[in-house]
Structure 1
């Protein structure tokens, strides 16, 4: 039963992923959902920023224009270096999805 619950939870998470946007912006070149890679995992980002006032707007802005490193030495690449411009609406969708990630 526990395995079925984990499978259902994973399927729901995968269905809610904005896959086209994730692929277009090459998010997985630097991030993974649950483990640090070249950049923090989406779960780490969510843990750090989920309840921080103004964080969603800051992250959306950083996604749209790039920005300095908040973790380690890797800065968020400029849009032309990772898939092209992203609209404010698409940035909002991606950041909302990232902030919904949770461990376990």
Structure 2
């Protein structure tokens, strides 16, 4: 039997996510990445949790899949979380105009 030298291949890696939240904290979810390989995928790790609570800002999500022979592949995407609140325009009391 020949050793597996090919890394896992990501069949599904999410696109960048743009989330508009109702408040400062927002629950963010995405489709989980999926890999195929000629041997078993031993582990999948991520630096951020799917379905967790996020503050406003930009987050680089990195998933790493490792197969049984130690070969590695990564899936990376950005998550942007923003507020849906609009700023109230200021009016001049002199003329009633902005």
Alignment TM-score > 0.5, same fold = no
Query: Max radius of gyration: which structure?
Result: 2
Bigger relative CO (Cα 8 Å, ≥ 6 apart)? 2
Q: TM-score, normalised by structure 2?
A: 0.23
Q: Which has the higher helix share?
A: 1
Which protein is richer in strand relative to its size?
2
Task: Give me the TM-score of the superposition, normalised by structure 1.
Answer: 0.22
